[in-house]
Structure 1
Amino acid sequence: MSKTERVRLELPLILPQVDDPADPCIDRLVGLLQGRPGVEKVHVKTPGGAPPLLCLHYDPGVITVARLRELVDAIGAQLTERFAHYVGRAPAPLHARHARSFADQLRAIPGVLEAEVSTAGCIRVEYERTAVPPGSLEERIRAVGATFTPEKSPDPASPRDDRADRHMHSGATHADHRHEPNHEHDEDKAGHAGHDHAHGGIFGEHTELIFAGLAGVFLLAGWLVERSGAAAEWLPLALYIGAYLCGGFFTTKEALENLRARRFEIDTLMLVAAVGAAALGQWAEGALLLFLFSLGHSLEHFAMGSARRAIEALAELAPETAFVRRGDGTEEVPVGTLEPGDVVLVKPNERLPADGVVVKGTSSVNQAPVTGESVPVDKSPVADGRAAIGAFDRVDAASRVFAGTINGAGALDVMVARRAAQSTMARVVQMVAEAEAQRSPTQQFTDRFERIFVPAVLALVCLLMLAFVVLDEPFADSFYRAMAVLVAASPCALAISVPSAVLSGVARAGRSGVLVKGGGPLENLGSLNSIAFDKTGTLTEGKPKLTDVVVAPGVSEAELLAVVIAVESHSDHPLAAALVAGGRERLPTEATLPAAEDVRSITGRGVQAIVDGQAVHIAKPVFFDEGAGMRLPPELAEANERLVRDGRTTMVVRQGERFLGAIGVMDTPRPAAPAVMAQLRELGIERLVMISGDNQQVADAVARTVGLTEARGDLMPEQKVETIKSLRERHGKVAMVGDGVNDAPAMANATVGIAMGAAGSDVALEAADVALMSDDLAQLPFAVGLSRRTRRVIKQNLWVSLGVVAVLIPATIFGLNIGTAVLFHEGSTLLVVVNALRLLAYPGATKEGAAREVT
């Protein structure tokens, strides 16, 4: 199936407790997908008498079925009954050409929708369960040494995760339609590492490198003996033949495999060029060709293995065993046997074995392996562990812990919330592996370029071989020139330039707690200049705080705050806790609080009570405008208007016939937000836009405080989606930063959706293209800076690989010999790989590190 072909999928529409096509939840599902890059049309079909179908028209070259399924799963739809996907690893890195041809073989299997194979050996296949012939996929996967573990079909009779059934149908948010993915991936370490090299042999994974070295030794010895003239005439030839055997062993092996599969790859072309040189008596140049080609090939594998190992290191962070409390003692058990509700003992300085909540003990935990936070986070126990693991996503960060993180000096008892295969770390490893195999837009371009370029080169070589017909030269000269052009024009560096950079960028991001789902988001984030932000919980703390106290003439602040604390301490309104906490901070410790009686809520306006025998009202200013004889004094009204202009939510306090004053509450901006916005501007982000459901004055106030270029308030969720679409139309690519739950539709319609605080949140991990695992806005400039550096490296690699080919082709036509052509050809291949691996050393989330990547 061509990657540019448009595809239509018709899927059974399954949402928890939803069977009506007119249900608003289905509108949310369509809104989540409509407008997504690569999704051309989404609609619901209702065949007569049949269940409704979700019909998707999409471009598989831009968005994969796996990504579509993630987005749909984010609000609870189940697509796992029809589609499955396999994610595994070959036992060693693959050459770019081998990876591409293997992916083509997988795509040729009937029923396989998509297949991607990365140079690091990651294999990702999306297929229809009923359409794939039994054994055909398994046979191909095992052919490269990977372990095939098919994804299990969901059992309709099995009880669903409690979270999936938490469907609050009235006013349900996207978090309510949550679906626990039922993917069983190959998590066996044997399928990921520990095997011999793909070109393994008597020397293990370094066999090809050693063979290349021996070829170099034979070549050098033959050249020295030939130059000295002191030995028998047959000795230099014998040494060159030895160089041929060592340097050409693996090249011949791959060439034969390609020919058996009816493919004519670069390995075959190189072998033909070497045989041609030998036929012309140019044994030294042929040996040099095979030596440098095999050396470059083996070093390329070695270098790509470095990037691969950086990703595999994530999977090895969690311990293999855990100490589970059994009665009065503990028992050491494998981590894979832990079940939700088990209590494990975590000793000081040990790694945590599972995701869970602290039920006993206090300590600080280094969460850098998962969230990228540089400072350990203090942990304290929850009151009810069972209730906490049932709502794990909403547990306070001070009590929630993750597998793979490192305990500090105190011992902790942790109640397990998730099985090992479902932990945040396991899911990050799985998603990073999937991201490796997904091709970026530039990689798709290079593949299309190669499909045109390689046949054109072969045609040119054939013409050059016939040059002796029109030129006054022997056939040997024409043939030699053609072989030199064949070597010079082979696009080896081009084939490896983009995947090596993408793999290194994804690995570096994952090491710092930033999950990037493939080369597409990585490149797009590196090229956009507009970012939209949700306000609550993203730019702000998400918790209102008492910010201002304005007292009326003749009233002290202590008197006002005492009344407010006395009344609001009886209320369960979200603002009440902020007023009580803020009031206690400001009130002198020696102050006494009056007693409040008969506390009642004034719906939509505030609260009333009796304090010291007088009626007290703490309410919105409009409440007093509505009541007879209760209008605000001019000076208090003016102070209230000033607070509103500054973005505060205000309440006025009145006791008896006397106004005590006004108080202002605000969801305060994150302390890091202004510095983050400054870093983003330094990185070349021109438009920083906030989209919020709060009133425009509040939005403007927050925008001024944190340094945004624009703020849009009073937006309903569907209006946020329209705002993102309009930004894309006017400014091209745009990213949307939110919490991944209520902002899922807007994030899905952005070019790149970025979720904050994704650690432990299923919905955030599924809805986002880029997930910032910690709840730290400072990770955003790091992600943008790394993406810009990656995009720059990709451009550099393309210029090098295409530039060398552009120079070498005419140079060889006009007489450059094969040896020099090989030197530059293989040198460019190694250069682009080394250049890409520099991304693994990209500095962490600091202003100095990110701000250097100004475009």
Structure 2
Amino acid sequence: MKKPTSTARLPGTPAELCIHYDGTKISLTRIREVIKASGGILSERFGHLLLRLERPPRARQARRLQEGLNAISGVLEARISATGQLRIEFDRQRISSQALQQALAGLGLPVAASSYTGSPGSAPYGDTAPGPDGKSHGALSGASSEMRCALASGALLALGAAMDAWLPAAPPWLAWACYAAAYFFGGLHTVREALENLRQRRFEIDTLMLVAAAGAAALGSWAEGALLLFLFSLGHALEHYAMGRARRAIEALAALAPDTATVRRDGQLVELSVEQLQVGDLVVVKPHERLAADGFVVQGVSSINQAPVTGESMPVDKRPVEDPAQARAYPGAVEAISRVFAGTINGSGALEIEVTRRATDSALARVVRMVSEAETRKSPTQRLTDRFERIFVPAVLLLATVLLFAWVVVDEPMRDSFYRAMAVLVAASPCALAIATPSAVLSGIARAARSGVLIKGGAPLETLGALQSMAFDKTGTLTEGRPRITEVRPAQGVSEQELLAVTIAAESLSDHPLASALVQDGRARLDAGTAIPAASGLRSMTGKGLAATVAGQPVLIGKAELFGSGGEAPLDASTARVIAGLRESGRTTLAVRMGGRDLGAIGMMDTPRASAQAALQQLRQLGISRMVMLSGDHAKVAEAVAQQVGITEAWGDLMPEDKVAAMRELRSQAQVAMVGDGVNDAPAMAHASVGVAMGAAGSDVALEAADVALMSDDLRHLPFAVGLSRKARAVIRQNVFVSLGVVAVLVPATIMGLGIGAAVAVHEGSTLLVVINALRLLAYRDPMPTVTKAQEAA
């Protein structure tokens, strides 16, 4: 992405940015997500269309349709996935959504009934094709129809061949009629696509197969032509069926949330559709029911199976929030123990939850929409194979033309030259290459989503599978993110109660996690009846601390480095010594000043995650050889935590801009992932090869900002994501090798005399092989679950 530029603006008008980007490296949808995560708003001028085609196109057909869509005036970017997911970014000033739908109809694109059109800033999730049972009926019926036609063609071909072989006395026209009928059923779907190709002035494999079959019939080889069409139609029917499995694996996510919910309104329980739920509604969840909406628990205690959304293997205990009013005002700050998600399964206790998001904005809905959009994003290997095909296909057509006129030079009948040229065209058609990467990417993304990992496209999937370096944020990633007060050290002449009261008063104004911990632990340490003074005028200094007015006096709370800079007086000697000692013992420290007097220092400690050490060990076994911890805490604190979790490199005293510089330095040496919470770490993530956010189910910003989002805050999902990405990358390479290898063998073989029937059989077989190989990713399992358990026990 190039540097954004801005233009002069009138006072009072919003600031505007114009972003220039490389479409081969980042999609417009990804830019939209990053802008939203950064707090920006895209102009309503730009629309976002997410559709599901009734029948998924073949890979080469999808590319042709994609090029046609991008050529429409007003379309900024169009992508079609192998499963028929269509994403279009367009300019409303140049084309309306209605005109765009008409253009789609003109291109012969049948769109599923429940598709979505919206603006980038308000896109709900795209449950765009499945019916009530979560299945894509249009695609399934299309694949079934093609399969029935292929089987009918095969049966008629076998009947005709049996008459020729075992019933020589039968009238000759009977066998011919069987072959002709086999032509009809075998070529029914092929003719439709070939005519569409010709209408678009393109010569694709479908047209080629018809020409070859017609040529065989003209030469009297009816049986061979029927065999060609049978094998071709059967191969593509099986390919569509196999790809349908990957498609259904994604669409099954959309069926997790129930259709109705029991809501308490005006003292009565009423059943409503989930689309009618409003923010603030109280939903009653019976034991063992699926939850209908995102929200927080206001009544009842239970355990909830969150695996459908977060991938957590064990049910999670839930209890009511302590202060419903505060939870209502700040839903993003609700603790995980009280937060619930649509699509998860309640345990044995009854619950009452307050809805915080409409059905179209739930975590599950956003995941489904983002996975659907991720299908359309090409991986580096796919872009490479696309460029290869642009050179390879014309070269093959030139070779076939030369072979077509070989009879002029070589002493052979024109029939043999024509037959050989057709066989070479069949053998060299790169159908397997076209589907090799998309099928693997789709299966990998679907498998990850099923385990609570959102991977936004082929590029992060491949990159995550190739890198050997990772950088980790400390707080909330390697640690629990719930620091506790360990020491309260008041200055001479100041009581501990005074120090805590001033600190609580100022920190109560902030929603920072550290502030919440200070307030919660500080109140527990206060003596009963201790008054907390009034506070106002919060001013946050990112990465350093905060300033406020408490009891009419200015208060400054933050790192020691905050004092003695920016016009502030340095800390007194005694407070500075206390902070130095606390840092040596690995504590996070805060100094407190009120007026011109230092009140003392507070030491805090964040507990390393129980799973951190085991997860990092798994990453090493997967080939992540370099791990770096980045922290805004003092270097001594960072080193203490790093030693506990098993990281050898710890970089401390980093401001947000320092983390960005650190990522630039690391990336200049090798590809590197940045793992954090996706909120405070968003700038650093943007400069990493892959940004990975934890706990994304409870954070809209994390979902938007990351390339890979771990829906739960369990670090053990990271080795799973890396292992799956490595497996997907291996499958992609295998598929490309098989695809090119078959072409490399078949082309010379057909030139030397291999028949069309055998060429079609191998050609379609290789296409089916790469799809089946890709589908193995749907069954991927974490190869080291027992290691994790053993390490945790140790």
Q: TM-score range by the shorter chain?
A: 0.7 to 0.9
CA distance in 2: counterparts of 1:536 and 1:324, whole angstroms: 38
Give, in whole Å, the separation in 2 of the partners of 1:281 and 1:137. Answer: 47
Matches of 1:594 and 1:443 in 2, distance apart? 65
In structure 1, distance between residues paired with 2:86 and 2:184: 32
Counterpart pick for 2:742 among 804, 824, 830? 804
Aligned CA distance change for structure 1 residues 320 and 150 (closer, same or farther; 3 Å): closer
Q: State the Cα deviation string for residues 622-653 of structure 1 (Å, max 9, x = none).
A: 99x98799999xxxx9xx9786445234799x
Does structure 1 residue 490 correspond to structure 2 residue 423?
Answer: no
SS in 1 for 2:606: strand
Structure 2 counterpart SS, 1:94: coil
Matched ranges for 1:99-118 at <5 A: 99-118=62-81
Letter in 2 for 1:742: N
Secondary structure class of the residue paired with 1:323: strand
Alpha-carbon distance change, 564 to 266 in structure 1, aligned in 2, over 3 angstroms? same
| Match among 823, 834, 840 for residue 772 of structure 2 | 834
- Could you tell me which residue of structure 1 aligns to residue 702 of structure 2? 764
Aligned equivalents of 1:199, 1:584: Cα separation in 2: 61
1:105, distance to aligned residue in structure 2 (A): 1.8
- Matched with 1:97 is 60
Q: What TM-score does the superposition give when structure 1 sets the normalisation length?
A: 0.80
Aligned pair count reads 736
How far residue 417 of structure 1 moved from its aligned partner, in angstroms, is 0.6
| CA 435–476 in structure 1, closer or farther in 2 if over 3 Å, else same | same
Residues of 2 paired with 1:804 and 1:116: CA distance?
28
- Partner residue, 1:183: 123
Contact 1:138 1:148 in 2 (8 A): no
Partners of 1:435 and 1:356 in 2: CA distance = 26
8 A Cα contact 2:52 2:128, kept in partner:
no
Greater shift after overlay, 563-572 or 75-84?
A: 563-572
What do the CA deviations read for 1:312-332 (whole angstroms, capped 9, x no partner)?
111111111111102332001
**Residues 653-672 of structure 1: matches in 2 within 5 Å?**
665-672=604-611
In 2, the alpha carbon distance for the partners of 1:234 and 1:425 equals 61
Alignment of 1:354-753 (within 5 A): 354-545=293-484, 572=504, 644-649=583-588, 665-731=604-670, 733-753=671-691
Q: Which residue identity lines up with residue 317 of structure 1 in the other structure?
A: L
- 1:249 Cα deviation after fit: 1.0
Partner residue, 1:825: 763
The aligned counterpart of 1:42 is 4
- Partner secondary structure for residue 79 of structure 2: strand
Aligned residue type for 1:213: L
Structure 1 residues 363-415: Cα deviation after superposition (integer angstroms, max 9, x where no partner): 11111111111111111111333431332211001111111111110111111
Quote the residue 2:20 is aligned against: 57
The aligned counterpart of 2:197 is 258
SS in 2 for 1:531: strand
Compared with structure 1, are the counterparts of its residues 725 and 526 closer, same or farther at alpha carbon in structure 2 (3 Å cutoff)?
same
Deviation at 1:509, TM superposition (A): 0.7
Helix, strand or coil at the partner of 1:114: strand
Task: Find the residue that maps to 2:698 and give its secondary structure.
Answer: coil
Unaligned 5+ residue runs, structure 2? 490-494, 508-513, 535-543, 546-558, 565-569, 592-600, 790-794
Is 2:279 the counterpart of 1:317? no
1:149: Cα distance to partner?
5.5
Alignment of 1:91-240 (within 5 A): 91-132=54-95, 135-142=98-105, 143-147=109-113, 151-152=117-118, 181-184=121-124, 187=127, 197=138, 200=141, 205-232=143-170, 233-240=172-179
Contact 1:335 1:354 in 2 (8 A): yes
RMSD, matched Cα: 3.5
Letter in 2 for 1:771: A
How many Å apart are 1:188 and its aligned residue? 5.5
Using the alignment, how far apart are the partners of 2:350 and 2:340 within structure 1? 13
* Mean CA deviation greater in 781-790 or 700-709: 700-709
Q: Is the 8 A contact 1:91 1:194 kept in 2?
A: no
1:306 is aligned with what amino acid? R
CA distance in 2 between partners of 1:279 and 1:594 (Å): 100
Task: Tell me the distance in 1 between the aligned counterparts of 2:140 and 2:66.
Answer: 19
Structure 1 residues 470 and 373, CA, compared in 2 at 3 Å: closer, same or farther? Answer: same
Aligned counterpart, 1:173? none
Pairing partner for 1:76 from 36, 39, 52: 39
| CA shift for structure 1 position 465 | 0.8
Measure, in 2, the Cα distance between the counterparts of 1:303 and 1:54. 44
For residues 744-797 of structure 1, give each alpha carbon's deviation from its aligned partner in whole angstroms, at most 9, with x where no partner exists: 111111111111101131111111111111111111111111111111100000
Shift of 1:349: 0.4
| Match of residue 160 from structure 1 | none
8 Å CA contact 2:114–2:129 kept in 1: the answer is no
Give the alignment partner of residue 220 of structure 2, picking from 270, 281, 287.
281
State the alpha-carbon separation in 1 of the partners of residues 462 and 310 from structure 2: 22
Query: How far did residue 223 of structure 1 move?
Result: 2.2
Which residue identity lines up with residue 222 of structure 2 in the other structure? W
Say if 1:729 and 1:343 are closer, same or farther in 2 by CA, change over 3 A. same
Aligned to 2:752: 814
1:468 positional shift: 1.0
1:546 and 1:583 in contact (8 A); partners too = no
Amino acid at match of 2:463: N
C-alpha separation in 2, matches of 1:697 and 1:313: 48
1:64 CA drift (Å):
1.4
CA shift in 2, pair 1:598/1:823, >3 Å? closer
Shift of 1:274: 1.4
Separation (CA, whole Å) in 1 of partners of 2:229 and 2:58: 16
Local SS of the residue matching 2:19? strand
Mapped contact 1:781–1:845 kept (Cα < 8 A): no
**What is the aligned counterpart of 2:239 among 300, 305, 309?**
300
Contact 2:140–2:244, Cα closer than 8 Å, also in 1: no
> Matches of 2:527 and 2:81 in 1, distance apart?
70
**Does the 8 Å CA contact 1:212/1:295 hold for their aligned counterparts?**
yes
Secondary structure of 1:40 counterpart: coil
2 CA distance for matches of 1:401 and 1:522? Answer: 28
What's the counterpart of residue 36 of structure 1? none
The answer (yes or no) to whether the contact 2:124–2:365 under 8 Å persists in 1 is no
SS in 2 for 1:365: strand
Which string of whole-angstrom CA distances, capped at 9 and with x for unpartnered residues, describes residues 118-142 of structure 1? 1111010011111115643112445
Flag structure 1 segments of 5+ consecutive residues without an equivalent.
Answer: 1-38, 155-180, 551-562, 586-592, 606-618, 653-661
* Equivalent in 168, 183, 199 of residue 244 of structure 1: 183
State the AA in 1 paired with 2:645.
Answer: V
- With 520-529 and 571-580 compared, the bigger mean Cα shift is at 571-580
Match of 1:348 among 259, 279, 287: 287
Task: Report the AA paired with residue 492 of structure 1.
Answer: C
* Distance in 2, Cα, partners of 1:794 & 1:401: 37
Distance 1:182 1:701, change over 3 A: same
Judge conservation of contact 1:392–1:760 (CA < 8 Å) in 2: no
CA positional deviation for 1:340 = 0.6
Give the letter for the 1:738 counterpart: G
Please say if residues 526 and 791 of structure 1, whose CA atoms lie closer than 8 Å, have aligned partners that are also in contact. yes
Asked whether the equivalents of residues 526 and 789 of structure 1 are also in contact (C-alpha less than 8 Å), the reply is yes
Stretch deviating more after TM superposition (464-473 or 93-102): 93-102
The percentage of counterpart residues that share the same residue type is 57
Which amino acid in 2 is paired with 1:495? A
How many Å separate the matches in 2 of 1:629 and 1:526?
Answer: 51
